[in-house]
């Protein structure tokens, strides 16, 4: 993963062979990070072109719950630092928290309004706030959302509309269906443009000031997931455009990498009929998870929703592979009737999950049994073990104490109303944190630890989250570092 | 936050829970959702949901369409929602507010109020007793569950 001198496009070669456009700053990727970068750079006086490979912008942000993690004081650094497990330097975290303290004002400047988010209903795994109440410093964080949004509209639309309207209002050019392919360097090793694919041909965009990579990570690139993530398979749920393009481009110009094994997501159900996996959450607590042998393996309601997949990574030396996979969500008819197992954050597929889960039962996605034994046979799990697991769990519900996994007593509801159901669950990935290492100025750093001149990164491509994350953390990473990148790129001296 | 919101009061209930206020608030959101006899809950936006409520006598159950919106909710002081119940010509809008107050060492008082919103109609009068009994039953079950969890 070195300099890739031979495969790089030189400035001269590009100018000779391609149609050339000139601007001050090229932003690669049009999600929240790209939009924030473009708006900020434009407002600092730079001319900006945004490239987006997909037919429309929004990226992962548009499919998210659109929570904004905001900070109410610099003491929030302590909280973020603890969640990063030493994988992100303090000065970067300080820059992030400072940005989080200003997000609300910026949203107002753009004409939006935010309110503190409160859960209307509680689903499991929970996404309540604070996400990590046992980690110090959470008192200085807040979860906010942008006001607005219609019924049956994706939750992120108020934020995305605000950002894209502001991009449009400023006349910033957004070129959709235009994937960036390669960074252009000059003889001084500066990043001076981008080669992109457009309408069947290549175009070159010369960037007088800088290039900002904001094109997401590698959730849909199987080889990269296999190479970097700690377990496999991990099914993607977000924007199908996230195929590691930015990572490849950054590697070719010598970028150092970070947080490659870190990812956050949900438990998911995957069927070959759909490209993205479906996130799975239960509307009622009469459910448990069991492994492929029919045994419980975790406190089902004890993990922060973005980190729930970590409980599937257990390796047992005496057993082959990951002993929990595939896992099953086992639930009764009360939970089945309470609400759809998928649909809160799962917008990548053009599919509406039925409200009572009946359509998915008839499709065979959800297995149904008149008795626990019947259900066990249908999912090929040992009948006696599964029956025993559920009997034990129901016993814990009766006494209000989970002796095995210490599930909180308010979530102990027995599985007792037939028929019974099972859905196969796998680890899902919303965002891979891996990508080019950046510094507190959002500059991409080389393997030698120096900033690569005129190259910036923001958002999911090399997120600051190195181990754990929390609700709203990814989205604010995009906005905060998008803004930092835009601000710094705009004041670069033009190279030509 | 007023303990009794404007509107025609249908039902009120007050109970004390042996836990501190933030803990009770956190449980309240969870318990309320568990205790409400709603089905097919569709979270249609970050503060709104649609659902089906089955009501009837014996084995006969009629589905009513419910639209819920979270209002006046602020941790750890209050939790509330407006619920619009619809079926044919029936339209009933009820606002439920639960106000929390610390009343001593590790104790929290929860004051629940259900008020009817909108114009008073003949149908509304007929349904008043049903609304009242439903609200009181729900408040009772929420209170009992909270007290059991915090005992």
Q: Which residue of A has its CA nearest to B73?
A: A118
The pLDDT value recorded for residue B70 is 86
Tell the residue number behind the tokens 């001198």, with chain if given.
A5
The pLDDT value recorded for residue A1 is 37
Asked if B33 reaches chain A (Cβ–Cβ under 8 Å), the answer is yes
- Asked if B42 lies within 8 A of A413 by C-beta distance, the reply is no
The pLDDT value recorded for residue A5 is 42
A12 pLDDT more than 80: no
DSSP A80-147: HHHHHTTSS-HHHHHHHHHHHHHHHHHHHHTT--EEE---SS--BS---SSS-TTSTTGGGEEEEEES
The pLDDT value recorded for residue A345 is 59
Q: Give exposure, A326-348, as e/b (b: 16+ Cβ within 10 Å).
A: ebbbbbbbbbbbbbbbbbbbbbb
The pLDDT value recorded for residue B121 is 64
The pLDDT value recorded for residue A348 is 86
φ, ψ of residue A329 in degrees (nearest 5): -90, 120
Mean local confidence (pLDDT), A233-252: 96
Mean local confidence (pLDDT), A447-475: 94
What are the pLDDT digits (tens) for A158-170?
999 999 999 999 9
Q: In angstroms, what separates the C-alpha of A411 from chain B's closest C-alpha?
A: 9
Cα A276 from Cα A292, distance rounded (Å)? 23
DSSP A60-76: HHHHS---EEEESSTTH
Mean local confidence (pLDDT), B77-96: 87
A2 pLDDT more than 50: no
Pick from A7-11, B17-21, B111-115: least confident: A7-11
Mean local confidence (pLDDT), A50-76: 93
The pLDDT value recorded for residue A231 is 87
The pLDDT value recorded for residue B128 is 77
- Chain A partners within 8 Å of B148 (Cβ): 400
The pLDDT value recorded for residue A127 is 67
Question: CB neighbours of B59 closer than 8 A, spacing ≥ 6?
Answer: none
Mean local confidence (pLDDT), A389-393: 98
Asked if B150 reaches chain A (Cβ–Cβ under 8 Å), the answer is no
- Asked if A356 lies within 8 A of B45 by C-beta distance, the reply is no
A3 pLDDT more than 60: no
Q: Which one of A208-217, A308-317, B30-39, B138-147 scores highest in mean pLDDT? A: A208-217
The pLDDT value recorded for residue B5 is 59
- Asked if A121 lies within 8 A of B48 by C-beta distance, the reply is no
What are the pLDDT digits (tens) for A285-318?
999 999 999 999 999 988 777 888 888 877 777 7
Asked if B48 reaches chain A (Cβ–Cβ under 8 Å), the answer is yes
The pLDDT value recorded for residue A125 is 81
What are the angstrom distances between the C-alpha of B3 and each of A116, B14, B72, B101, B117? Answer: 21, 11, 11, 10, 16
How confident is the prediction for chain A on average, in pLDDT?
92
Asked if B80 reaches chain A (Cβ–Cβ under 8 Å), the answer is no
Confidence tier at A344 by pLDDT (50, 70, 90): low
CB A408 within 8 A of CB A430: no
Cα B151 from Cα B140, distance rounded (Å)? 16
What are the pLDDT digits (tens) for A394-425?
999 999 999 999 999 989 999 999 999 999 99
ipTM, 2 dp: 0.86
More confident residue, A316 or A206: A206
Asked if A377 reaches chain B (Cβ–Cβ under 8 Å), the answer is no
Cα B121 from Cα A251, distance rounded (Å)? 70
At A384, is the secondary structure helix, strand, or coil? helix
Q: In angstroms, what separates the C-alpha of A397 from chain B's closest C-alpha?
A: 12
Mean local confidence (pLDDT), A382-403: 97
- Start-end of H helices in A170-203: none
Query: Where does chain B show beta strands of DSSP type E?
Result: 8-17, 38-45, 48-57, 60-74, 78-87, 90-104, 107-117
Q: In angstroms, what separates the C-alpha of A170 from chain B's closest C-alpha?
A: 29
B90 pLDDT more than 80: no
Question: CB neighbours of A369 closer than 8 A, spacing ≥ 6?
Answer: A375, A376, A377, A378, A419, A420, A421, A422
A7 pLDDT more than 50: no
Confidence tier at B1 by pLDDT (50, 70, 90): low
Asked if A410 reaches chain B (Cβ–Cβ under 8 Å), the answer is yes
Pick from A237-246, A282-291, A332-341, B87-96: least confident: B87-96
What are the pLDDT digits (tens) for A64-85?
888 899 999 999 999 999 999 9
The pLDDT value recorded for residue A109 is 98
More confident residue, B126 or A183: A183
């Amino acid at each position: 993963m070195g300099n890739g001198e031979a495969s790089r496009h030189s400035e001269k070669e590009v100018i000779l062979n391609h149609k050339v456009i000139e601007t001050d700053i090229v932003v690669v990727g049009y999600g929240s990070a790209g939009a924030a970068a473009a708006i900020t750079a434009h407002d600092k006086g730079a001319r900006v072109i945004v490239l987006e490979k997909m037919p429309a912008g929004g990226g992962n942000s548009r499919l998210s719950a659109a929570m904004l993690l905001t900070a109410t004081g610099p003491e929030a650094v302590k909280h973020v630092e603890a969640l990063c497990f030493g994988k992100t330097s303090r000065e970067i975290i300080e820059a992030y928290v400072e940005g989080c303290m200003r997000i609300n004002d910026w949203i107002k400047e753009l004409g939006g309004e935010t309110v503190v988010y409160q859960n209307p209903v509680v689903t499991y795994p929970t996404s309540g706030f604070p996400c990590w109440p046992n980690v110090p410093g959470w008192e200085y964080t807040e979860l906010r959302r942008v006001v607005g949004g219609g019924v049956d509209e994706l939750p992120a639309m108020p934020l995305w509309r605000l950002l894209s309207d502001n991009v449009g209002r400023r006349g910033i050019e957004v070129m959709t269906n235009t994937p960036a392919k390669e960074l252009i360097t000059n003889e001084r090793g500066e990043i001076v443009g981008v080669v992109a694919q457009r309408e069947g041909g290549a175009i070159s965009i010369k960037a007088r000031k800088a290039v900002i990579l904001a094109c997401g990570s590698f959730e849909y690139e199987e080889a990269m997931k296999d190479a970097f993530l700690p377990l496999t398979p991990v099914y993607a749920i977000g924007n199908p455009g996230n195929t590691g393009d930015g990572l490849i481009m950054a590697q070719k110009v010598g970028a150092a990498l970070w947080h490659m094994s870190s990812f956050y997501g949900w438990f998911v159900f995957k069927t070959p009929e759909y490209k993205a996996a479906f996130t799975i959450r239960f509307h009622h607590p009469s459910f448990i998870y069991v492994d492929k042998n029919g045994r419980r393996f975790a406190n089902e309601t004890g993990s922060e929703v973005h980190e729930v997949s970590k409980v599937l990574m257990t390796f047992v030396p005496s057993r082959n592979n990951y002993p929990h996979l595939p896992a099953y969500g086992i639930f009764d008819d009360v939970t089945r009737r309470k609400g759809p197992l998928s649909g809160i954050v799962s917008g990548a597929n053009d599919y509406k999950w039925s409200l009572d889960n009946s359509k998915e039962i008839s499709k065979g996605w959800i297995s149904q049994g008149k008795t626990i034994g019947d259900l066990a046979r249908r999912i090929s799990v040992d009948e006696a073990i599964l029956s025993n697991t559920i009997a034990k769990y129901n016993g814990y519900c009766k006494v209000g104490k989970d002796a095995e996994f210490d599930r909180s007593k308010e979530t102990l509801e027995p599985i007792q109303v037939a028929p019974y159901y099972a859905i196969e669950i796998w680890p899902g990935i919303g965002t891979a944190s891996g990508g080019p290492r950046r510094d507190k100025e959002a500059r991409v750093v080389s393997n030698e630890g120096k900033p690569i001149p005129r190259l910036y990164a923001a958002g999911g491509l090399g997120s600051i989250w190195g181990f754990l994350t929390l609700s709203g953390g990814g989205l604010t990473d995009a906005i905060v570092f998008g803004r930092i990148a835009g601000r710094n790129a705009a004041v670069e001296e033009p190279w030509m | 936050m007023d303990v009794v919101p404007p509107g025609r009061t249908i039902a009120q209930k007050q109970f004390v829970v042996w836990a501190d206020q933030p803990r009770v608030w956190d449980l309240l959101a969870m318990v309320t959702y568990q205790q409400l006899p709603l089905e097919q809950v569709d979270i249609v936006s970050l503060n709104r949901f649609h659902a089906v409520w089955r009501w009837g006598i014996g084995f006969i159950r009629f589905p009513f369409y419910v639209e819920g919106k979270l209002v006046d909710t602020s941790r750890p002081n209050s939790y509330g929602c407006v619920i619009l119940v619809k079926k044919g010509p029936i339209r009933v809008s009820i606002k439920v507010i639960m106000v929390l107050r610390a009343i001593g060492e590790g104790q929290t008082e929860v004051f629940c109020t259900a008020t009817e919103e909108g114009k008073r109609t003949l149908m509304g009068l007929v349904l008043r007793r049903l609304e009242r009994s439903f609200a009181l039953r729900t408040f009772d079950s929420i209170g009992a569950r909270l007290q059991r969890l915090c005992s």
